[in-house]
Chain A
Amino acid sequence: MEPGPNADLRVSDRVLVERVVARDEAALAAIYDRYSVMLHSMVMRVLRDTQAAEEILQDIFFQLWNNAVKFDPERGSLPGWLLVSARNRAISRLRRFHRVGMEELEENMVVVPFNVESTLSQEQMVRKVKGAIDALSEVQKEAVQLAYFEGLTHTEIAERTGEPLGTVKTRLRSAIESLRKTFRP
């Protein structure tokens, strides 16, 4: 895995966002370089459609260009904000939900417990998350993937897997307990 190169690691996300607010195209390009691989990989996994994934990526960065002033880097993480926004849009498209836009995200801040601004930190995060997922049982892994990548609820996962609702809830809760330990900063 090699995420997009970071145009200039000496420049923090906070500074890049400030420059985007000032309509600096190079700053938007730097943010794209930093996070497009991560976003594209996740959206592709949800939608399995190159064209749809590219549309969502373009939409996300275009919305960032127009709404960066509403993002508060002191309160939340830019990659977290982008990931939540991209996942919401991908799941909405997959399931034909109403479109979830940046308007909702303005109030929904995301605090990521790790810095993933650099290529190296993203590579480390891939290893960390894959290790955490591999440590789950197969049924836990399936439940987490159905929830995260397909946007299914407890009941829908139970219907999809043919398992009792209570079993699915217990399975997901224990999986989350395990993941929380891994994601402890």
Chain B
Amino acid sequence: MNGHPTREEDFDLYALGVMEGEERQAVEEHLAECADCSRKLEEARGRIALLAFAVPQVAPNPRLKERLMAHVGGMAPRFEPQQQLPPAIPEKISIFASRWWAAILSPLVFGLATATVVLWVDNEDLQKQVRSLRASVQEQQNELAAARGVINAAAEVDTLAVNLAPPPNVSGRGVVRYNERHGMVLLNALLAPLPAEKTYQLWLVPVQGNPISLGIFTPEDNNGSAYMVSSVPAGVRAKAFAITVEASGGVPQPTGPKVLIGPVS
């Protein structure tokens, strides 16, 4: 392609990442030398980026923000108040006058400096409190958003409730709410606690092909209750759901013992 792409959709298809081989190379060579087309590509990237809004909006775990801010806080240079220096005394002033003014001004300067430091510390404390309160409100609203998403999906008429049952001699129970149209899976389970080096992993067993990992989780409290929201890839139909015990961090394909399993009826 020596000239401009002949059709406007070419920019979107390139941004989507479906072009390949000579077709892709020709677009890239042209973009390198055409500012107009580069601008059109920037707009196409924006349109394609909006496809992200096609999925149910699920808030991340509030602990993620805490971890991020703790990580960032550990690296940010801290603002330190500058040391208050006494004012310089003009050289031409007489010794008598300088001593006289120094006697008056020194306590005043010291007082002002002290007040400045106290106010600065108070201000820092107040700002910390405001940040903490905002973080707290945000966490609560994130949790509310996640809960609303779950309720909305669970209330859909085509959402299936798949009961998960343990094999003999294993305790635990669970329910997966599965909406194929939305590609959403909601898990509620009661399971035994695990040692630190182990994790539970939820699997979707498709009608065809290998099991697909829907994520890892650990019970959130001493009662063993666990909760997880996950997504299912487009075009995949579930035959069953299963939970296995795997090494911490999870595995690409199940290797550990099944603790819960349930067929999609």
Interface on A for B, CB 8 Å cutoff? 1-5, 7, 23, 25-26, 28-29, 32-33, 36-42, 44-45, 48-51, 53-54, 57-58, 61-62, 65, 75-77, 79-80, 83-84, 87, 91, 108-114, 122, 125-126, 128-130, 133, 141-142, 144-155, 157, 172-173, 176-177, 179-180, 183
Closest chain A residue, CB of each to CB of B53: A129
> Could you list 19 examples of A-B contacts with CB < 8 Å?
A1-B152, A5-B138, A26-B131, A29-B131, A37-B59, A44-B231, A48-B230, A49-B250, A57-B64, A110-B46, A113-B43, A130-B54, A133-B54, A142-B234, A148-B51, A155-B20, A176-B13, A179-B51, A180-B47
Is the pair A7, B134 in contact by a Cβ cutoff of 8 Å? Answer: yes
The interface residues of chain B lying within 8 Å CB-to-CB of A44 are: 55, 58, 229-231
**Contact present for B52 and A83 (CB under 8 Å):** yes
A58 surroundings in chain B (CB, below 8 A)? 64, 67-68, 71
- Knowing A26-B131, A76-B42, A148-B16, say if A45 contacts B49 (CB, 8 Å): no
- Whether A23 and B77, one on each chain, are in contact in the complex, defined by CB atoms closer than 8 angstroms, is yes
Interface of A is mostly: helix
Q: Please report whether the interface of chain B is mostly helix, strand, loop or mixed according to DSSP.
A: helix
In Å, the complex CA distance between A66 and B173 comes to 45
Contacts of A83 in B (CB 8 A): 49-50, 52
Number of A-B pairs, beta carbon distance below 8 Å: 228
Are B149 and A7 interface neighbours, CB within 8 A? no
Chain A residues with CB under 8 Å of B49's CB are 79-80, 83-84, 87, 110, 112
Q: Give the contacting residue for B20; candidates A26, A125, A145, A154; CB below 8 A.
A: A154
Residues of B near A2 (CB, < 8 A) are: 57, 59, 141, 144-145, 148-149
Interface of B with A (CB < 8 Å)?
A: 7-9, 12-13, 16-20, 39, 42-43, 45-61, 64-65, 67-69, 71-73, 75-77, 127, 131, 134-135, 137-138, 141-142, 144-145, 148-149, 152, 183, 212-217, 228-235, 249-250
